[in-house]
Amino acid sequence: MYWARKSFTLLLTLAFVLLLTFFAFRIIPGNPASAILGMEASQEQISELEQKLGIEGPLHLQFFRWAGGVIQLDFGHSIRFSEPVLSLIASRLPVTLSLAAMSLAITLLVALPLGIAAARARGRFADLFISLTSQLGLAIPSFWMGIVLILVFGLTLKWFTVSTFVPWSENAWLALKSLTLPAIALAVPQIAIVVRYLRTTMLEQMNEDYVRTAKSKGLSNANVYYKHVLRNALIPVVTVVGINFGEILAGSLVIEGVFTLPGMGRLLMTAIGNRDYPLVQGMVLLIAFTVIIINFVVDLSYRWLDPKIRLK
């Protein structure tokens, strides 16, 4: 029942995204054929090229042609690169996804201990320090953070080489190294959000009766916090992290520009600039699909954390 309902919503959302990606971008004025041929092209030349690119005729027929292809995993050919959309995306996706995954990992690794520490030190120096710093982290835009990181760790200290991305398949260690700085830049505001949120939910949970029961057994403070309180406090935090993953993904499109990483971000910019309809549509669809999958994973971890939902 759960799976049936879940798959149905998944399909429905995908169909909606499909529609939106196609029509939203077509509303914007501009034409790829005239973009390619330049100002002097005649009307005949333009319609000839349109026919070749498969963007002629009524819009709804174009849509059905495209959607029919998508269902068979055929996303069409890129206009700008004259290459299949799918292979273009496949070459760029690993960079963006590993960047997003890395910054999520950094976010959790740093934010969870800090949030717990702030809650435990409530009102004392450590709490004030963490809260103040996270306020600052929230105010700094990622791209600016990226530039500062490049200046300090790349150009001055020379700990990281900037602007040379090594693919995972070539050298995993160097790939990891070239993604570290942008991942940190992306993670900083996320860390700030999660720390503040976790601190609040931990403090809320600490007033609950079951905490008093746990203490009445003689458990150590660490045990009470990490075993009893954290698990309950994480339930709402997971939702926030899930919603923010979309944000991380969007952020990585931007930060790729700052660090000149060959990811989806730069490909998307080029595609939009050239009115490369098939490529833009394919990429937006894929990004939406990723976000939907992430939400699904969030839902699963939610069920794992909260037995009330799991056992319903």
Binding residues (CB under 8 A) for other proteins: these are: 208-210, 212-220, 223, 227-228, 231-232, 235, 305-308, 311
CB of 11 to other proteins, least distance (A): 32
Distance, in Å, from the CA atom of 302 to the CA atom of 145, rounded to the nearest integer, reads: 32
How far are the Cα atoms of 17, 86, 247 from residue 76, in angstroms, in the given order? 17, 8, 28
Nearer to other proteins, 110 or 219 (CB): 219
CB of 307 to other proteins, least distance (A): 4
Nearer to other proteins, 234 or 288 (CB): 234
CB of 210 to other proteins, least distance (A): 4
Helices 172-206 and 230-258 pack at an angle, to 10 degrees, of 140
CB of 203 to other proteins, least distance (A): 11
Contact 270, 80 (CB under 8 A): yes
Nearer to other proteins, 80 or 228 (CB): 228
- Residue with tokens 């037995």, as numbered in its chain: 307
**Maximum alpha-carbon separation in the chain:** 86
Nearer to other proteins, 162 or 198 (CB): 198
Counting Cβ atoms within 10 Å, is residue 170 exposed (0-12), middle (13-18) or buried (19+)? exposed
Distance, in Å, from the CA atom of 112 to the CA atom of 197, rounded to the nearest integer, reads: 10
CB of 214 to other proteins, least distance (A): 7
Nearer to other proteins, 40 or 209 (CB): 209
Distance, in Å, from the CA atom of 46 to the CA atom of 151, rounded to the nearest integer, reads: 47
Eight-class DSSP state of 77: B
Which neighbouring-strand residues pair with 77?
Answer: 84
Nearer to other proteins, 83 or 208 (CB): 208
What's the half-sphere exposure (Cβ side, CA atoms, 13 Å) at 284? 20
CB of 278 to other proteins, least distance (A): 47
CB of 129 to other proteins, least distance (A): 21
Nearer to other proteins, 38 or 123 (CB): 123
